[in-house]
Amino acid sequence: MRVQTWQQDQFLTPNQYQYRRKGDYYTIDGFIPSLDGQALERMPTWTGHIDFVSNFSQPYGAHYYASSNKFCFVGTSADYTPNRLGIMAIHQDDLSTDAVYEQGSTGPDELGGNHKQNLLYALGGFWWIGSDQNVYLCLSPFGGTLYTRYSDGDAIALVPARDALFLVNDSDEILRYSYSDTTFSAYYSTATPLDIQHAFHFRQDLVLFARHNDGSHAIYLVDDRPPATLKQLTRLPGQTGTFLPDETSATWSSPWAVHHDQLFFSPGLYWSSSSDAEVVPIYAFDGNSIELIDLVDAPIVPNAWGLLTWRGRLLLYFIHNSAQHIYLYHNGRFTPLLDGSYTTSNWADLYSIGGELWMPRQDSGTEGWTRLETLANGVFTSSWLDMGRPTVQKHLSHLVAVVSDAQADFKVKLEYRTESGSWTQAVETDDARHVIAENLGVDFYLLQIRITFTNDTETDPDITLESLSATYSYGR
Q: How far, in whole angstroms, is CA 293 from its chain's centroid?
A: 16
**Cα gap 216→210, rounded to integer Å:** 9
DSSP 361-428: EEETTEEEEEEEEEEPPEEEEPPBB-TT-TTS-EEEEEEEEEES---TTEEEEEEEEETT---EEEEE
- Which superfamily does CATH assign the domain made up of 2-42+379-474 to? Galactose-binding domain-like (2.60.120.260)
User: Domain residues of the chain, as ranges?
Assistant: 2-42+379-474, 50-153
**Cα gap 191→305, rounded to integer Å:** 32
Q: Each residue's pLDDT tens digit in the chain (476 positions)?
A: 799 999 999 999 999 999 999 999 999 999 999 999 999 999 999 998 999 999 898 888 899 998 899 999 998 888 766 778 889 999 999 999 998 887 766 778 788 998 899 999 888 888 999 999 999 998 887 877 889 999 999 999 999 998 899 999 999 999 999 888 899 999 999 878 888 888 989 999 999 998 887 778 889 999 999 999 999 998 887 765 666 666 555 567 888 999 999 999 988 888 776 666 688 999 999 988 899 999 999 888 888 999 999 999 999 999 999 999 999 999 999 999 999 999 998 889 999 999 999 999 999 889 999 999 999 999 999 999 999 999 999 999 999 999 999 999 999 999 999 998 899 999 999 999 999 999 999 999 999 999 999 999 888 899 999 999 999 999 87
CB 406 within 8 A of CB 90: no
The edge-to-edge listing of strands for the beta sheet with 164-169 is: 155-161, 164-169, 173-178, 183-189
* 282 CB-near residues (< 8 Å, 6+ apart): 264, 265, 266, 292, 293, 294, 295, 296, 307, 316, 334
pTM as predicted? 0.92
Report helix, strand or coil for 144.
Answer: coil
